[in-house]
Amino acid sequence: MTNLLWLRRDLRRHDHPALGAAADGADVVALFVLDPVLLNGAGAARQAWLAATLRACDEAYEGRLVLRVGDPRQVVPEVAAEASASAVHVTAETTPFGRRRDAAVRRQLSQRGVAWVETGSPYAVTPPRVVNRQGDGYRVFTPFQRAWQDHGWRAPAADPPRLRLRRLESHPDARQWLDAATAGYPGALQAAGEQAALQRWEEFLENDLADYVTGQNRFDLDGTSRLSPHLKLGTIHPRTLLHDLAGRRGKGAQKFTAELCWREFYADVLWRQPASLWQDLRPELSTMAYQQDAEKLQRWREGRTGFPVVDAGMRQLLECGWMHNRARMLTASFLCKDLHQWWPVGARHFLDHLIDGDVASNNHGWQWVAGTGTDAAPYFRVFNPISQGLRFDPDGDYVRRYVPELRHLPGAAAHQPWDAADGYRHGYPEPMVDHATERREALARYQAARGR
């Protein structure tokens, strides 16, 4: 008997419940489908990261990962027939797109007499299992976190005692895509794949966890876990991380657990409110006045706003396919509160480029900044790009790393080139707006939208 394991956001061999279920008494064909619908909107960094991860996954699956290109509604049933598979095993999907796609594939398989088996999910607690006493979901993080922790999660899944992998040929187009995606990205990606994720996790536990509370906020330090790209493609599971954190005391462990919970909270919110992916979760600001200024938007995208730490963040995104989390909040606040643009414009740009671009976390994080999401009263939180830079990049190292026009300015002077006699000698742009003025404008628009 043969089962087909369709991999999506679970590109690993260990702690993999769906793999264990597929391997129970059967040979396994492991499949990944390169869906043009998802790839066409992905920037070079996202495609390169996926390609690197797939190469590592293929090696982990003994060179027998089957790669095909096309619409999964057609490809998965075709590969199931080619393998004479009796069932297709998957890790359950939770996003609106993934759920619709899976329902369509399941219908196609049912017509052919092939079973559909879902085991596990990309989360420690699968949405929508966290509920209050009335059986409803949460729209505020803190009570969700308490209920999430009370619910608990399973231990990491054991490896199948016997795994017999069958080989099918990958499509030539898929191999060509891998080569092109890898060659098309000029930046340096972090190491991809399950072994790289586990190694990074061990390094983080040993070197960075104790100082995580402060280290995660510093632009200039490598104090974050850098595991979000691995969590995005499932080369490591949050259940593995939580298992290793169990019993560890200290604020660092508590804070990192809370960050994992934020990821699960946003996934739960999206499950219950799928329209919130591209629409305001909270209707209170439905009449907010926004601007549509293509020139300003392009300057923000390119990192030419004239505010050094904002530009450093935006250029880090374009160069690396990743951005420091505080820089994400700061650049998002600048677009929404200083340039008065609607958050989906920025959310789409981030998803095009971030190698860890998870739609639930990304889009609800944008809503948190924009004041339309889960936070109770966040609109008055307007990040000051100058003070944020001085506080979290005190020596200007982050700015100089990504904004070469300011490398001649020493120390904190890189954050305020307008105060230096030669601050603009290398062509760095002057500030495109006055932050204090735009902050007042943002709050006035907020009051008008609330009818005050």
The binding site comprises 212, 224-228, 256, 259-266, 356-358
Tokens representing 148? Answer: 């999430």
Task: Decide if 72 contacts 97 (C-beta within 8 A).
Answer: no
Residues 126 and 366: their CA atoms lie apart, in Å, by 23
**At 434, phi and psi to the nearest 5?**
-95, 115
Write out the binding residues for FAD: 212, 224-228, 256, 259-266, 356-358
The residue among 447, 127, 116, 390 whose CA lies nearest residue 266 is: 127
Residues 378 and 85: their CA atoms lie apart, in Å, by 51
* Amino acid (one-letter) located at 143: P
Helix, coil or strand: residue 93: coil
Place of tokens 């976390």: 361
Residues 164 and 185: their CA atoms lie apart, in Å, by 35
- Please give the torsion angle defined by the CA atoms of residues 326, 216, 231 and 267, in that order, rounded to the nearest 10 degrees: -50
Residues 171 and 11: their CA atoms lie apart, in Å, by 19
Residues 6+ apart with CB under 8 A from 241: 201, 227, 256, 260
Residues 290 and 287: their CA atoms lie apart, in Å, by 9
Residues 362 and 366: their CA atoms lie apart, in Å, by 6
Task: Decide if 88 contacts 116 (C-beta within 8 A).
Answer: yes
